[in-house]
Structure 1
């Protein structure tokens, strides 16, 4: 099992952070353009809820596009939500999005636990490709969000 944890301070309030991060259409804004991220689920009106299924297509490597299906498994507005992969490129994916009010804004924490398929080969692929790619994706998110919510 591999883990990635990122914290970022955003100059907004809990309601603003929740509005942005609980809307899956904003994922394309914070995902690198090279990943060609697209939501393929029908548009959802209303609040995020536990049990919500979201379908995406994402380019994971040049010429390799995969379908990714996640389920929102836990929601406690405006403090956290969890998405888990139901189908996609990982053997296991559990992503917690946590929001905590602090002086001058909110502290957002992303905590991802994941596993790459294919056993020992997957561990090598993670070390050489998947891990660095995820680090890059979250670094990109950090930069984009710093522009949207400057501290």
Structure 2
């Protein structure tokens, strides 16, 4: 099991952060374009809720598309939510998104736990490129969000 934590200060209030991040529609805007992220379906509409299922596809390599299904398993309104992978490329994936009021804005905290399939081969793949890819996605988000909320 691998654990990663990412923190970012945003010059907005917690409600603004919640409104943006709790809307699955905004995921495509903060995901690297090369992944061709596309939501295929969302249960229960656009308002996030426990039990919501989101199905999407991404392109992980040229001409290699993966389907991913996540479920929202925890929601603390305006504070945090947790999504887990139901189907997808990982053996396990849990992502907690938290929003903490701080002086002048909000601290966004992403806590990620994941495991790769295929035993030793999977661990080697994680060492060689999976961990780097995951960190790269969050670095991309950091940069996009810095630009987006500085302009707002």
State whether TM-score is above 0.5.
yes
2: CA distance, partners of 1:37 / 1:82 = 20
What is the aligned length? 151
* SS of alignment partner, residue 150 of structure 1: helix
- 125 and 43 in structure 1: CA distance in 2 versus 1, 3 angstrom threshold: same
Task: State the TM-score, normalized to the length of structure 1.
Answer: 0.96
Partner of residue 25, structure 2? 25
Residues 46-61 of structure 1 correspond to what in structure 2 (within 5 A)? Answer: 46-61=46-61
Which residue matches 1:98?
A: 98
Within 1, Cα distance between the matches of 2:128 and 2:143? 23
Q: Does 1:13 align with 2:13?
A: yes
Aligned twin of 2:75: 75
Q: Give TM-score scaled by structure 2 length.
A: 0.96
What is the distance in 1 between the residues matched to 2:44 and 2:8? Answer: 28
Structure 1 position 31, deviation (Å): 0.3
Which segments of 5 or more consecutive residues in structure 1 lack a partner in the other structure?
Answer: none
**For 1:117-132, what aligned pairs fall within 5 Å after superposition?**
117-132=117-132
Deviating runs (4+, > 4 A) in structure 1? Answer: none
Classify the secondary structure of the residue corresponding to 2:110: strand
Distance of 2:47 and 2:57 partners within structure 1? 22
